[in-house]
């Protein structure tokens, strides 16, 4: 009975380890570049989980407007509209609303952003939250990559928990086993 319990414990530890490994979220980092009508430059990175199709992090910078890192909204709002994302700058005073020329981010490999140079979808814009009519359009822009697959922050820790529990369990069992001669 003790061997069966030990075997089940080992099997459960292995399954939990594999599940945490398999469910690990991976974000693919894309380099953004572009130019706005007012001469402002778009730069920075956008991280996309291409397995589930969502933007996981934004580090996009637009000239004096700052870095747009707080993702407010994202999704596909219908065929032909592209995949839309809205992000706030760090001060919360301006928004960057941009579109990607794809209906889904699953398997996304980069490409042009919605801009004045392509009329397939609405142009990407940034604007002060206090006056959205004072928007500036993206003349041209793209996401280039992927550059690297970045594991979710606590991945190694989560994978190591079942392994550590197993080691502790077997170490404690070894100490309590009577010596047979």
pLDDT class of 176 with cuts at 50, 70, 90: low
Residue range of the domain that includes 95: 26-151
Q: What is the separation, in whole angstroms, between the first and last Cα of the chain?
A: 22
Same domain flag for 58 and 17: no
**What local confidence, expressed as pLDDT, does residue 90 receive?**
86
Same domain flag for 14 and 42: no
Is 34 a domain residue? yes
Same domain flag for 84 and 161: no
Of 46-50, 52-56, 146-150, the poorest mean pLDDT is in 146-150
Q: What is the pTM of this model?
A: 0.67
Is 46 a domain residue? yes
Instruction: Compute how many other C-beta atoms are within 10 angstroms of the C-beta atom of residue 40.
Output: 17
Same domain flag for 157 and 134: no
Q: Residue 137 burial by CB count (10 A; 0-12/13-18/19+): exposed, middle or buried?
A: middle
Same domain flag for 110 and 133: yes
Average per-residue pLDDT for the chain: 78
**What local confidence, expressed as pLDDT, does residue 46 receive?**
96
Choose among 93, 57, 87: nearest CA to 73. Answer: 87
- Range picked from 20-24, 32-36, 89-93, 113-117 for highest mean pLDDT: 32-36
Instruction: Check pLDDT > 80 for residue 75.
Output: yes
Is 30 a domain residue? yes
Do 80 and 121 meet the contact criterion of CB atoms below 8 Å apart?
yes
Is 180 a domain residue? no
Same domain flag for 141 and 99: yes
């Amino acid at each position: 009975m003790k061997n069966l319990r030990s075997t089940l414990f080992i099997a459960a530890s292995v399954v939990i380890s594999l599940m945490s490994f398999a469910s690990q979220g991976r974000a693919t980092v894309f380099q953004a570049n572009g130019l706005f009508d007012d001469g402002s430059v778009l730069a920075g990175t956008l991280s996309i989980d291409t397995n589930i199709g969502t933007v996981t992090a934004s580090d996009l910078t637009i000239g004096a407007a700052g870095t747009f890192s707080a993702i407010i909204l994202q999704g596909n709002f219908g065929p032909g509209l592209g995949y839309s994302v809205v992000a706030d700058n760090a001060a919360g005073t301006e928004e960057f609303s941009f579109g990607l020329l794809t209906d889904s981010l699953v398997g996304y490999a980069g490409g042009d952003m919605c801009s004045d140079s392509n009329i397939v979808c609405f142009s990407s814009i940034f604007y002060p939250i206090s006056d959205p009519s004072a928007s500036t359009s993206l003349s041209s822009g793209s996401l280039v990559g992927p550059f690297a697959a970045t594991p979710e922050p606590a991945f190694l820790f989560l994978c190591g928990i079942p392994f550590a529990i197993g080691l502790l369990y077997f170490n404690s069992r070894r100490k309590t086993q009577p010596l047979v001669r």
